[in-house]
Structures are given as structure tokens and as C-alpha cells.
Chains A and B, each alone.
Chain A
């Protein structure tokens, strides 16, 4: 398996634009997590899914953020409209059974100017 695949690796966009980050989890994994990493706040859990259903989205910063998982092999994190303070590295991770480790993608570095 190629591991968790995220795209794009880098994204630069202007304030106010819509941004969509994509994630393909490892085949057969039941859980998918979205994290945001910044120097100030560290690694924050935004939302996670189990069997394509959102379980906890309490970490989503505000209504500008939304995440979907239409099927077991694909998830998106959308920011609309984007703001400079959204600049961060966004990681997607997936795991199998509930008590097992998660595997991370390489991340998407988002810069909003």
C-alpha cells in the first residue's frame, strides 16, 4: 500500500478563496483523522470519521471549515472563505481497529496571503 496520500502538498491562495484539501486513507482502514499543525497551537485534532461517519468535529475552528468523507477511500477538508490565520500544515491520518496506531500522510502546507 502507498500509505496515506494527501494532495496537494503545497497550496498558496489568496484570502477569501475556497481551499480544498484531499486525503486518500490506507485501504481497509476504518478511521480517518484531520489535524492542523502550527507553531503556536501545535497539533490539533479537527475532526475524525469512523466508517465514513463524522464522530467528533469539536475541533473544527469555525463554520468556514467543513469536512466530508463520501466513501471509504476519500475525504476532503474545505475552507471557505480562507483567511491568513488558516495558514498551517494540515495532516490526514488513518487507522484500522480502534486501539491501533494511526498512519499519517505527508501533509499539505497551506499559505493564505
Chain B
């Protein structure tokens, strides 16, 4: 079974500064995918960034980047130049690529507050 742990229930950051959200996971699979989803209040979960486990290069999407440490099973999200619109619940998730259903296993989430 796969597990995802987000050790920070809440984080806060000043606008324009950088924040890192932590995520560790456990899996017996060698081929898997990792995701960060963002959920603004009362809104749908939106994909922020994804990482393929077989790629060593860390994924980057504009102000969002990850630090993927496969041996340590760590997948942290860095948000640079934080904006007020970044305030949301952030979920780390792992996708099982074995079998045929590609289900997601989520962490409990980190609530990010951005202070003006």
C-alpha cells in the first residue's frame, strides 16, 4: 500500500516571499507519479505540478518547483514570489501506475496562508 505524509498542517508566508511545503511518501512501486494539487476554499482541486519518478530532473511550472529526492522518498513543493491567490489547501499525492486504474493516494494537506 502507498502512503503520503504531509507533516505541516498549516504554513504561512509573506507575499512575494518563498515557502516550501513538505511531503514524504512510501511505495513499493518503481514506476509512479507524484502530484501537488491546490484546493482554494470551496473550489475544485487543481493540478499544480507533477513529477515522474523515473525522471531525475525536478519539475518546474512558473513559480512552482519541486525538490524530488527519490532515495529519501521526499517530494517538496517550493512556491516562489508568493501571491495572495496562492492561499489554499495543498495536497501531495502519489499515483500508482501499476494495474489499470491509476488511483491517487493523498496526504492530509497543508493549509497555506499568504499574508499581505
The answer to whether A binds B is no
